[in-house]
Structure 1
Amino acid sequence: MDNTVLRISNEHLLLGDKVEQLPCRKNTVKFAPGMPDTIVLHYTAGRDGRSAAEYLCKDTVKASAHLVIDRNGTVFQLVPFDTVAWHAGKSQWKGRAGLNNYAIGIEIDNAGILTRSGTAYTSWFGRKYAEDEVMEATHRNESQKRYWHLYNEQQILLVEAVCELLMDGYPAIKEILGHDEISPGRKQDPGPAFPLDKIRQRLLNDRDEDSAPVNNLSGKVRVPYLNIRRLPALGANKVAQSLPEGTDLTIFEEYNGWYRVKTEIEGWVAGRYVDIENDFPDYNKDIH
């Protein structure tokens, strides 16, 4: 998923071409220092993303979320990322209760559990789905197979891109969980149709393996101008004006083709545009 059009503002808002802000005024309490450190994924079990977002924004509804991701790729933000939302309810994980206080909540537009009737599959709200929109699977907390509404590829890639951006913007985030994991028996979302384990592997395990210190090597910018960013991501804000060719760099860390460097300032630059003394992998993507 190309997430170059997405970024997080200094006001903790997601910005992008298909991002809509629907302020949820009822949520005003800020996260404690050092939080959030977790992302919790949910499905809406509703008709569409917009109606779910508008419902969660109502003052009379005792639930909310930070984001709702529609099937058409629109992302609705209800609550800033520095503010507690009401998405987890009664929940527990690794000895901590009340995950609202620690987690960003992302709702994904999906009907959830379906009931089969002949060749049609029906949601709790009466909408029917064709067979190619459904999978039969056993939930991780259950023993019997049921029918589940499929997520589309655009949603899955967008959820992964947003999670990665949140991890870059809030480095304390080390967990990506399903609602069904923090409230087992009470909740089933995001369900077996969502590839949560694969996304965790790519974003958490592989990410940790990709990052490594590089022992304060020296380098020089080898292109006319090189962007220096706050985080190792295309969507991250620049920390200063672009560095001119020949700028001396001290390199502290390598992550997935990016170098954390220091000149007069400190930030991240695309590694393929830096000449250094030691050999590093050849990064082929134009990411400066």
Structure 2
Amino acid sequence: MGGVMKIVDHRLTTEFADNDWVDKSGGKFAPGLPDTVVIHYTGGGSLASALNTFKDPKVSASAHVLVDKDGRLVQLVPFDRIAWHAGISAYLDRNGLNSYSLGIEVVNAGKLEKSGSLYRSWFGRSYPEEEVVRAVHRNEEEPSYWERFTQEQIETVLNLCQALKNRYQICHILGHEEISPGRKIDPGPAFPLDKLRDRLLHDNRKDEQESGGETRISGVVRAQALNVRSGPSVNSPTIVQPLSRNTELQILDEQKGWYQVEVKVRGWVAGKFVEKISSS
């Protein structure tokens, strides 16, 4: 059973988050910081390879959190300390975003090259078509192929950013590609960055609903206790305490018998235990 995503003493304290501290930090943030989150992809094929890179003393790089394919988290640096994830970077009137931001690294291969019926990463792994997105990068003009992020990863990043926003004065959520254009292309167009930050920072859901862009369906829990998971699968980790009977919720999406719902966080529940009661 998972727990609510909480931050205590600048550390995640949830059952679906581990830690593997690395001694690569630029000291503590200045007062009032961090106020920015920067999202990256690892450019590799596994959590293990990313951990090996960050723990290598010869590599001058670190990040605050790694997000694995199944949505599980590994924290590497406490949130009150500067990590080395942004490199040469600028945004608005700032240079060197390490000093202002928290870095989230999501396990993903990034850009792929088509090879017959498969798609190959720079490190030689091949991916089937169902794990690939063809899309145009925000800093490019022609479409390319990208590894698809898992739904579990997207949900976890959303909930993590919400927890960080609740704890710190977060006012910017950016991609590495936006603070280092021409040098970096992550997280790329396969990650719904614009949608995520719009939801977290601008909350345009009400405007979408009023303009007819989104239909909101209410529901009520009919099970004694209902797990909320990071993705539409019994294998996805739970992200909050179970919902009790008669809990009201908003249904946002449906996939293969699962409802994406929103109470205090967004996650997935088994649809057979929820009764739809209205739409608006």
Normalising by structure 2, what TM-score? 0.71
C-alpha contact 1:53 1:76 (8 A) present in aligned 2: no
Q: Which residue of 2 aligns with 1:34?
A: 32
2: CA distance between counterparts of 1:139 and 1:146?
8
2: CA distance between counterparts of 1:3 and 1:175?
28
Q: Which residue of 1 aligns with 2:216?
A: none
Q: Determine which of 156, 159, 172 is the counterpart of 2:157.
A: 159
1: CA distance between counterparts of 2:122 and 2:149?
17
Q: Which residue of 1 aligns with 2:182?
A: 185
2:183 is aligned with what amino acid?
A: R
Q: Which residue of 2 aligns with 1:205?
A: 202
Q: Determine which of 127, 135, 138 is the counterpart of 1:137.
A: 135
1: CA distance between counterparts of 2:155 and 2:120?
26
Q: Which residue of 2 aligns with 1:169?
A: 167
- Structure 1, unmatched stretches of 5+, are 211-233, 236-269, 271-283
1: CA distance between counterparts of 2:84 and 2:60?
7
**What is the Cα deviation at residue 62 of structure 1?**
0.6
Q: Which has the higher contact order (CA 8 A, sep 6+)?
A: 2
**What is the Cα deviation at residue 53 of structure 1?**
2.2
Largest Rg, 1 or 2: 1
Q: Which residue of 1 aligns with 2:18?
A: 20
**What is the Cα deviation at residue 7 of structure 1?**
1.0
SS for the counterpart of 1:56 is: helix
1: CA distance between counterparts of 2:48 and 2:162?
23
C-alpha contact 1:50 1:76 (8 A) present in aligned 2: no
**What is the Cα deviation at residue 3 of structure 1?**
8.1
* Partner deviation per Cα, 1:44-68 (whole Å, 9 max, x = no partner): 0102123202321222211110001
**What is the Cα deviation at residue 21 of structure 1?**
0.8
2: CA distance between counterparts of 1:26 and 1:95?
26
SS for the counterpart of 1:116 is: strand
Mapping of 1:2-21 within 5 angstroms?
4-10=3-9, 12-21=10-19
The answer as to 2:59 corresponding to 1:64 is no
Alignment: residue pair count: 211
SS for the counterpart of 2:21 is: coil
1:139 is aligned with what amino acid?
A: H
C-alpha contact 1:57 1:78 (8 A) present in aligned 2: no
Specify whether residues 15 and 167 from structure 1 end up closer, same or farther in structure 2 by C-alpha distance, changes over 3 A only.
Answer: same
SS for the counterpart of 2:82 is: coil
Normalising by structure 1, what TM-score? 0.69
Specify whether residues 55 and 175 from structure 1 end up closer, same or farther in structure 2 by C-alpha distance, changes over 3 A only.
Answer: same
Same amino acid, percent of matched pairs: 49
SS for the counterpart of 1:198 is: helix
Specify whether residues 38 and 55 from structure 1 end up closer, same or farther in structure 2 by C-alpha distance, changes over 3 A only.
Answer: same
1:204 is aligned with what amino acid?
A: L
**What is the Cα deviation at residue 6 of structure 1?**
1.8
2: CA distance between counterparts of 1:207 and 1:104?
24
**What is the Cα deviation at residue 27 of structure 1?**
1.6
The answer as to 2:192 corresponding to 1:195 is yes
SS for the counterpart of 2:4 is: coil
C-alpha contact 2:70 2:150 (8 A) present in aligned 1: no
Name the Cα RMSD after superposition: 2.3
**What is the Cα deviation at residue 26 of structure 1?**
2.6
Specify whether residues 155 and 41 from structure 1 end up closer, same or farther in structure 2 by C-alpha distance, changes over 3 A only.
Answer: same
**What is the Cα deviation at residue 5 of structure 1?**
2.8
1: CA distance between counterparts of 2:15 and 2:149?
22
2:34 is aligned with what amino acid?
A: P
Q: Which residue of 1 aligns with 2:235?
A: none
* Partner deviation per Cα, 1:238-279 (whole Å, 9 max, x = no partner): xxxxxxxxxxxxxxxxxxxxxxxxxxxxxxxx9xxxxxxxxx
**What is the Cα deviation at residue 201 of structure 1?**
1.1
2: CA distance between counterparts of 1:49 and 1:32?
30
Specify whether residues 183 and 28 from structure 1 end up closer, same or farther in structure 2 by C-alpha distance, changes over 3 A only.
Answer: closer
The answer as to 2:101 corresponding to 1:103 is yes
- Structure 2, unmatched stretches of 5+, are 208-238, 241-262, 264-276
C-alpha contact 1:66 1:78 (8 A) present in aligned 2: yes
48-57 or 175-184, larger mean C-alpha shift: 48-57
Q: Determine which of 123, 126, 137 is the counterpart of 2:124.
A: 126
